[in-house]
Structure 1
Amino acid sequence: MNYSITYITVLLFLILGTPQLKAQNQTGEQQNYVVLSKNIKQLKPILMTADSLAEEDGETYGEFQVVFCGKTVQDIKNNADFKLLLKQAELQNVTVTVCGLSLNAFEVDQKQLPEHLEVVENGILYGFQLKKKGFISLTI
């Protein structure tokens, strides 16, 4: 009789517990990332990091965004190296944005910016908004 109770208990755990474990594995949350940077020269290592995280996270890899703020926005216009990295970012599905407040502060016309570069009104606020949405954030 003692063995019967043990077998029934184990059988119930297997039957009832297995679907729940499978559901947990299939509904893993997306890992989303945002990097706020004050130096456009950081884009290359940021893209390398995004690539590594995409491989590491597998199916749970979500969005990766980069926001540039500060004086570095002056270095964006007519920068061939940065344009190449933007194309690489696009291939990696990494969104690169620039802070509109910084553009205004350092008198950079949005028309001088390369294609595929998004402008957000306030880069710092945008970073906080993404963090509130669950993005893992890093400021460099």
Structure 2
Amino acid sequence: MKTPIKHITMWCFVLFSAITLQAQNENAETLNYLILSKNIQQLKPALITANALAKEDGKTYGNLYVVFCGKTVQDIADNSEFNALLKDINSNQVKIFICGLSLNKFNVNPADLPKNIQVVENGILYAFQLKKQGFISLTI
């Protein structure tokens, strides 16, 4: 019995589609998140959010970056609650950044900041650069 070419073409299409869908699932895009904040009190909700996103996203979860800008940078060095929360940032790929322009404006010495905080020259510019890289962002 001869198989019509139409049936062969259809089965080839179905097989190709299945292979393509499987490859897309295996190469799922990593989801990275950014929070730009002017309030260090947002660190605790950011950590809670990171935990929820890691569970929700599963293997596609990448990182959650938090960038603090503005006057709030004055309150970081001596804030025991904030510094205690920083000990939790190793879980769920959370990274904390501080705006260097804000540090300069409010006369905060970067050496007074906890060691696991990174200073970026311009927090707003850094946020835009991360957006260009595909980070999902929120300003609070």
TM-score in terms of structure 2 length: 0.91
Question: Are the aligned partners of 1:32 and 1:61 in contact in 2 as well (CA < 8 Å)?
Answer: yes
Give the letter aligned to residue 36 of structure 2: L
Query: Which structure 2 residues correspond to residues 27-46 of structure 1 after superposition, within 5 A?
Result: 27-46=27-46
Query: What is the alpha-carbon distance in structure 1 between the residues aligned to residue 36 and residue 16 of structure 2?
Result: 45
Answering whether residue 87 of structure 2 is matched by residue 87 of structure 1, we say yes
User: Cα distance, 1:21 vs. partner?
Assistant: 1.1
User: Cα distance, 1:13 vs. partner?
Assistant: 3.0
Query: What is the alpha-carbon distance in structure 2 between the residues aligned to residue 90 and residue 9 of structure 1?
Result: 52
Q: Which runs of 5+ in 2 are unaligned?
A: none
Query: What is the alpha-carbon distance in structure 2 between the residues aligned to residue 64 and residue 43 of structure 1?
Result: 11
Percent identity (aligned): 57
SS, match of residue 49 in structure 1? helix
SS, match of residue 14 in structure 1? helix
Deviation string 1:13-64 (CA, Å, 9 cap, x unpaired) is 3322211110011111111111000000010001111111111111111121
Question: Are the aligned partners of 1:131 and 1:137 in contact in 2 as well (CA < 8 Å)?
Answer: yes
SS, match of residue 33 in structure 1? strand
Structure 1 outlier segments of 4+, above 3 Å? 3-10
Give the letter aligned to residue 85 of structure 1: L
User: Cα distance, 1:78 vs. partner?
Assistant: 1.7
Answering whether residue 75 of structure 2 is matched by residue 107 of structure 1, we say no
Give the letter aligned to residue 20 of structure 1: T
RMSD: 1.8
Query: Which structure 2 residues correspond to residues 1-140 of structure 1 after superposition, within 5 A?
Result: 7-140=7-140
TM-score in terms of structure 1 length: 0.91
Question: Are the aligned partners of 1:90 and 1:116 in contact in 2 as well (CA < 8 Å)?
Answer: no
Q: Which runs of 5+ in 1 are unaligned?
A: none
Question: Are the aligned partners of 1:76 and 1:82 in contact in 2 as well (CA < 8 Å)?
Answer: yes
